Structure 1
Amino acid sequence: MKTAIIGAGPGGLTLARLLQRNHFVCEVYERDASPAARPYQGSSLDLHTASGQQALKEAGLLDEFNALSRPEGEAFRVCDAATAKIKFKTKPPKPGKPNKPEIDRLLLRNLLLDSLLPGSVHWGKQLDYVEQVGQTHILHFANEPQSESEFDLVVGADGAWSRLRAVLSPEVPIFSGVTAIETIISKDLVRSDVDELVGHGSLIANRGTQSLWCQRQGDGGVSAAQYMRTPEGWVAQCGINWEDSETARVALVDRHMSEGWAEIFRHMILGSGAEIWPRALYMMPVGWRWNPKPGITLLGDAAHLMTPFAGVGVNLAMEDALELSRALLRWGGDGRESLTEAIAEYERPMFERAQLNAALTWKNLVRNFGTHE
């Protein structure tokens, strides 16, 4: 059986590693031009024991993960937005018994990439459409005359705006009502009071329909993301020039953090000295699922896009990869009927797992930001 995976994120790369380790023929196609195309992949990730870490264990990569991860990153604090006083904080994990240690996204991606067969990840491949010919599939890529053919299974791990999702359903992501504005403070610009307040892990401060999330990164820097209730299209229509990061930071703080926020939190946006990235948060409807299609399935955000307010996105993607690989291994990959059954065996519990977590993240969104009108 020959498998094509669309997308080289954590879920797609985990699946590729699991399949290749069990001698399946597997190729990965990624739209980024190279591994270095996006040096900032986002804030660090906490991998859970029963999902992300279990996938790495079965991939034979858990020891390498443990060497790269930061158990101290589990620390979590909640602060008062107006005073910056700590209202709640977790205890540090017991030595040798981390539950969900943090790892930088780039380190995780490189760990997975380095584990794959040379030449099995193809960069600069933007999927255009999939053509079914008999019992196999042909992949067509944007702006490329050459296609890739004869795949028995095509797995969409291509994120929020998955091209492969459209093959299975006309459903598209809907706006959640929340927009995130992200930046990062490099280690050399982290002020001493910020260093002390954030500590080794994460910090959240809430005010009304706004929430500031700060997180320590592996290099000592601090990421900061301001989440707030906005109308759809706000990023383009708010009048802030996001291309000029310096003026954008000032405008964001003047308009949305001038009252009710302690100076230290305003400084986290104003003093970052880095780019600022606005991102409208989209989601698939809670409980969405598709009708089965032979030889095609999805995982991760392509299968169950949700907002980050339950902290499970990457763990779900890696768990999807693990469960799909297990289903394929049980059926042996030796015939059309068994492949169809293997996909169905994977999708049924995945839909239930996705609905449970999507409902949780939606509940948390409403609690923190109110309902979207």
Structure 2
Amino acid sequence: MTPPKIAIIGGKSSDSLAYWKHQGGSLDLHEGSAQVALREAGLFDQFMAVARPEGEVLKIYEPNGNLLLDESTGQGERRPDSFNGRPEVDRVQLRDMLIDSLSPGTIHWGRKLSTVKTTAVGLDSVYDLHFADGTTETEFSLVVGADGTWSRVRPLLSDTRPQFSGINGVDVKLSNIDAVDAKLSKRVGLGMCLTLGSNTTILSQRNGDGCVRSYGFMRLTEDWARTCGIDWSRPAEAKKQFLDLYYRDFDQDSKDLILKADDESVIPRPMYMLPVGHKWPHRAGLTLIGDAAHVMAPFAGVGVNVAMEDALHLARSLVACRDVCAKTAVKTHERHLSNAVRDYEEAMFVRAEAYAKDTWMYLDLFFHERGGHAMCEHFANEKQQQQGQQQGQQTGVPEM
């Protein structure tokens, strides 16, 4: 059997440096998805060596500084058990670990994809990749679009574009928070610190490098950054203006998470999502994984987990296809390869739809008119349901 030629188009394939350091905040990897993928890749022990289980804890504040929930002390109890087993890892550490596991030359850096074109070889269609530098790579049996929110591969499969989620604001980073402000460091704690007002939030998260990333997000228009009157080219003044406009009712500690952040880190950041249930008709030789397939806002904390689950299931399908073809001495693989990809897609569509529904549910909790009280009540209700299910299992009496 002639092995298929497969190209994976990455979202940062145009980086000039393989170990680009501006990767965003910390990620929690779940036991049933991303951690399974790492185990099968033989990387679980390396992951646990850099993971931060202590980063799982959550704090929720009101804008006036009143603490509603603190999982590190037991105030307000903890979230349901379904939130356990999700240690944090910095994006850069995860990315470096994955890159280092590959053979040298597997990733081609500095190759920005321009177009994908179909050509015919015999009875089969294959794909040529054309890059911005004028080079071309030819005759791929499968092209996997793993190239993020604004994927260049997706338009070959779907006319649907990501939609603005209704959430906009700024992304900032406060480096070395322990030295800058020990009191502020204590407020954040070891994990995530949410200050939830009425439809307006400051979401902060500790990273393993000693920084805290914060997000001043609220319900705004898509063009807000351009029309709000804030001069983003002057970040020190922009931070003050942003807080004066939208956070007058927030206590000083929560505002300082933005005010004391590194000036060069201030980035306006609208949130986008593909529609719930996004799918496409199967097309032999093309597929999508991760944000290219189902970009979601980060409020359910599932993005990287869904993406790694996609990669795991697609890899399993391709390996199974290879094994079947090898056993049956099939000389051409295209039909079997297409069926393997179709199997992956059909299961992924179902899984991604459920995650997208959860994301919208949590978005509405983060940006609720009742602020953090709505979030805490949601956790309490989920925990009560979980305890009821556990009691029913113990007694053998089905729930009504």
TM-score (norm 2): 0.82
Question: Counterparts in 2 of 1:196-215, with a 5 A limit?
Answer: 196-215=186-205
SS at match of 2:165: strand
2:340 to 338, 342, 345: 342
Contact 1:77 / 1:88 at 8 angstroms: preserved in 2?
yes
Task: Assess if the C-alpha contact under 8 Å between 1:177 and 1:281 holds in 2.
Answer: yes
Match of 2:299 among 290, 302, 309: 309
The AA in structure 1 aligned to 2:112 is Q
**Which residue does 1:245 correspond to in 2?**
235
1:178-197 mapped onto 2 (5 Å cutoff): 178-187=167-176, 189-197=179-187
Residue 131 (structure 1) aligned with residue 88 (structure 2):
no
Answering whether residue 38 of structure 2 is matched by residue 56 of structure 1, we say: yes
Q: 1-side partners of 2:58 and 2:368: how far apart?
A: 23
- Tell me the percent identity: 41
In structure 1, the residue matched to 2:147 is 158
Q: Distance in 2 between matches of 1:183 and 1:299?
A: 28
Deviations 1:112-142 (A, max 9, x none): 1111110111112221111111222100112
Residues 1:358 and 2:364 aligned together: no
TM-score (norm 1): 0.88
Tell me what 1:25 maps to: none
2:196, 2:367 within 8 Å by CA — same for their partners in 1? no
Distance in 1, Cα, partners of 2:11 & 2:112: 12
Task: Give 3-state SS (helix, strand or coil) of 1:330's partner.
Answer: helix
Q: Figure out how many residues of one structure are paired with residues of the other and give that number.
A: 343
Structure 1 segments unaligned to the other structure (5+ residues): 10-29
Aligned pair 1:271/2:271, yes or no?
no
The 3-state SS of whatever aligns with 2:32 is: coil
User: Which of 59, 80, 87 lines up with 2:68 in the alignment?
Assistant: 87
SS at match of 1:285: coil
Maintained 8 Å contact 1:204/1:212: yes
Aligned to 1:17: none
Q: CA deviation at 1:36?
A: 4.2
Q: Provide the C-alpha distance between the structure 1 equivalents of 2:108 and 2:238, rounded to a whole number of angstroms.
A: 36
Given that 2:33 and 2:308 are in contact with CA atoms closer than 8 Å, whether structure 1 keeps it comes out as yes
CA distance in 1, matches of 2:180, 2:30: 28
- Counterpart code for 1:265: S
C-alpha deviation, 1:370, in angstroms: 5.9
Matching of residue 31 in structure 1 with residue 29 in structure 2: no
Is this contact kept in 2: 1:190–1:222, CA < 8 A? no
**Alignment-mate amino acid for residue 368 of structure 1:** F
Indicate the larger mover: 175-184 or 326-335: 326-335
Whole-angstrom distance in 2 between the partners of 1:190 and 1:6 = 40
CA distance in 2 between partners of 1:190 and 1:149 (Å): 53
Alignment of 1:120 onto 2:95: no
> 2:85 matched to 1:99?
yes
- Tell me which residue corresponds to 2:313: 323
Q: Are the equivalent residues in 1 in contact too, given 2:290–2:306 (CA < 8 A)? A: yes
Aligned match of 2:48 in 66, 81, 89? Answer: 66
Tell me the amino acid that sits aligned with residue 142 of structure 2. Answer: L
C-alpha displacement of 1:326: 0.5
C-alpha contact (below 8 Å) 1:190/1:221 kept by paired residues? no
Structure with more helix by fraction: 2
Larger Rg: 2
